Amino acid sequence: MVDRPGLITPEIAKRYGVSDHTVTKSWAQHPAWPNAVGKRGRYKEYAAQDIADFVRNHVERQAVELEPKRLYTAQQLEDAAIGIKAGTIRADFARGRWPEPDDTEHGVNRWYGQTVMTAMAGRRSYRRGTEG
């Protein structure tokens, strides 16, 4: 078997547990997506390390650090750079994909930092593939 120096779309998708569509229509559209190093068949080929670096820097979610006992609004969470926008929090809450607020005083939904950190740990993140 020939050891390929690069990865093509189906291999990238398999390695990182996503669809080919995610690779081509989401990741590859990002300004930081690496340049192709060649071509294999109908696919562009990318250096495996370049792809690993892209995923680490632009796809994987970093652990959220908030004050566990502080209450946060959706906007305050966005401002704290947790990686999702206030509108996404509100939409996910409406769809049952975000936890119930810990406080609703004055009609404002607020969540404890610990609630948010737990919710974020359970959100989908892309796993890092193995090197080589």
pLDDT of residue 122: 73
| Predicted pLDDT of residue 124 | 59
**What count of residues does the chain have?**
132
CA distance 70 to 27: 34
Q: Residue 126: what pLDDT?
A: 39
pLDDT given for residue 89 in this prediction: 94
At 126, list the tokens: 């892309």
* Ranges of the chain with pLDDT below 50: 1, 126-132
pLDDT the model gives residue 81: 84
The tokens for 71 are: 């209450």
